Amino acid sequence: MKMIAKLALACAVSAAALSASAAFAADKFVVGYANMADTDVFVMARKNAFIEAAKSDPDVDIKFTDANNDASKQLDQIDNLIAQKVNVILVVPVDYEGIVPGVEKANEAGIPVIALGIQSAGGKYTFVGSKNIDAGKMQAEYMKANLPKDAQILYLQGTPGLYHSQERLKGFEDNLGRPDVKILANLSGNYDRAEGMKVTEDWIQSFPKFDAIIAANDQMALGAREALQGADRLKGVMISGVDGVPDALNAIKAGEMSQTIFQNAGGQAKAAFEVVESIKKGETPPAEKLVPFESITKDNVDQYMKK
- Are the beta carbons of 152 and 207 closer than 8 angstroms? yes
pTM: 0.77
Give the pLDDT confidence score for residue 11 in this predicted structure.
47
For each of the domains in the chain, give its residue range(s) and CATH number, in order of start: 29-129+265-291 (3.40.50.2300), 132-262 (3.40.50.2300)
Q: Are strands 212-215 and 182-188 parallel, antiparallel or unpaired?
A: unpaired
Strand (E) positions, 78-207?
A: 88-91, 113-116, 126-129, 152-157, 182-188
The answer to whether the Cα torsion of 195, 161, 43, 291 is positive or negative is positive
Residue 160: name the closest of 213, 103, 199 by CA. Answer: 199
Q: pLDDT digits over 177-222, tens only? A: 999 999 999 999 999 999 999 999 999 999 999 999 999 999 999 9
Structural element, H or E, at residue 256? none
**Residues of the chain falling short of pLDDT 50:** 1-25
pLDDT tens for each residue of 256-271: 999 999 989 999 999 9
